[in-house]
C-alpha cells in the first residue's frame, strides 16, 4: 500500500527541476520495495541500489582542490596509500569517521575539500548519463527516487515508497533530466535512485555516502570502469557501503 504523511504545510511542487513529482501511484517503484529477505539489506551495495543485477560498481565522488576535482587515488598516493574497492575516505586521509570536524583538512597542493556527501554530484552525473543511456532501451522514460527528508522542499503530502535506506518520493522524466534540479537551485540534491523503464540498471546514492552505486549488466559495468571521467571500482551486491 502507498504510504502517506499529512501535515498542514503547503503542497509539494509539481516538478523537481524538469522531473515530474508523482502523486497518483507508486507502481513503477514496487519492484524496488518487494525484495527477497537477505537481498539488498540495509547498509549494503544492493540496499543502496537494487538487488538482482549481474554486476555492480562503486563510483567515487571526487575530492577537490581549488574547486577542481581530485581523484581518490591521487589523494591516496600523497599519503603513501592505495584505494581499494571498499576504501573509506576517512581512513584514506588518516582520521576518524567524523572527518568534517577533524584537524586533518586538506593537503596543500593535493586537496582542500572532502568528497561531496549525498546523492550523485552533478558533474559525476553528467559523466554517467551517456554510459547509462547506451545500456538501456528506454533513456527517454526513466524513474527516480528522491529522499523526502532533504528539507528544502515540502513533500509531506506526496506518497512515498520505502527502500532499506530511505523513504523516497517518486519522480519521472528522461535520463538527461536527472541533473535538471540544479537548474532550479544550485545546491539542489539530485535524485538518490535512478532506473529506466526497462530496468536495465539501477543507480543508488544516499545522503550519508561519498559514493554512488550502480547495478547492471557486465557490459554496463565494464563501460563505467573504462570511462575516463569517472573513478570506479567493481563491488559485490552484499558489500558494506560504510
Residue 110 belongs to some domain of the structure: no
The full DSSP string for 119-132 is S--HHHHHHHHHHH
Which pLDDT score, from 0 to 100, does residue 11 have? 53
**pLDDT at residue 97, rounded to an integer:** 59
Instruction: Give me the pLDDT at residue 98, please.
Output: 58
**Count of positions (residues) in the chain:** 242
In terms of domains, do 89 and 193 share one? no
What span, in angstroms and rounded, lies between the C-alpha atoms of 91 and 97? 8
How much is the pLDDT for 9? 40
Ranges of H-type helices in 13-71: 30-33, 45-48
Q: How many CA atoms lie within 13 A of 79 on its CB side?
A: 18
Residues 77 and 22 in one domain: no
Whether residue 31 lies inside any domain: the answer is yes
Supply the DSSP string of 30-86, one letter for each residue: HHHH-PPTTSS-TTBHHHHS-S--SEEEEEEPPEEETTEEE-HHHHHHHTT----TT
Q: What is the reported pLDDT for 105?
A: 72
Among residues 106, 123, 55, 110, the alpha carbon closest in space to that of 77 is found at 110
Domain extent, residue 86, equals 73-101
Span 20-38, pLDDT tens digits: 999 988 999 999 988 766 6
What pLDDT sits at residue 216?
98
Quote the number of domains for the chain. Answer: 2
pLDDT of the residue at 112: 94
Residue 81 forms part of a structural domain: yes
Using DSSP's 3-state secondary structure scheme, residue 86 falls into coil
Residues of the chain with pLDDT under 70: 1-12, 36-38, 96-104
Give pLDDT, residue 34.
Answer: 82
Asked whether residue 159 falls in the same domain as residue 45, the answer is yes
Amino acid at each position: 500500500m502507498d504510504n502517506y504523511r499529512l501535515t498542514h504545510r503547503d503542497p509539494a511542487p509539481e516538478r523537481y527541476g524538469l522531473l515530474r513529482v508523482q502523486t497518483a501511484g507508486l507502481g513503477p517503484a514496487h519492484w524496488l520495495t518487494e525484495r527477497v529477505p537477505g537481498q539488498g539489506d540495509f547498509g549494503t551495495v544492493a540496499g543502496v541500489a537494487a538487488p538482482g543485477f549481474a554486476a555492480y560498481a562503486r563510483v567515487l565522488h571526487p575530492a577537490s582542490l581549488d574547486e577542481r576535482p581530485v581523484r581518490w587515488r591521487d589523494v591516496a598516493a600523497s599519503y603513501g596509500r592505495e584505494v581499494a574497492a571498499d576504501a573509506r575516505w576517512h581512513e584514506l586521509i588518516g582520521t576518524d569517521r567524523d572527518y568534517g570536524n577533524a584537524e586533518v583538512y586538506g593537503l596543500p597542493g593535493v586537496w582542500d575539500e572532502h568528497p561531496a556527501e549525498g546523492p550523485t554530484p552533478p558533474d559525476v552525473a553528467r559523466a554517467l548519463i551517456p554510459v547509462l543511456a547506451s545500456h538501456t532501451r528506454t533513456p527517454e522514460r526513466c524513474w527516480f527516487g528522491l529522499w523526502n527528508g532533504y528539507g528544502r522542499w515540502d513533500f509531506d503530502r506526496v506518497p512515498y515508497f520505502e527502500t532499506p535506506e530511505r523513504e523516497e518520493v517518486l519522480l519521472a522524466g528522461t535520463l538527461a533530466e536527472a541533473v535538471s534540479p540544479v537548474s532550479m537551485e544550485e545546491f539542489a540534491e539530485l535524485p538518490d535512485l535512478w532506473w529506466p523503464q526497462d530496468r536495465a540498471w539501477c543507480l543508488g546514492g544516499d545522503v550519508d555516502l561519498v559514493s554512488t552505486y550502480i547495478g547492471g549488466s557486465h557490459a554496463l559495468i565494464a563501460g563505467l570502469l573504462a570511462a575516463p571521467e569517472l573513478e570506479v571500482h567493481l563491488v559485490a551486491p552484499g558489500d558494506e557501503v560504510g
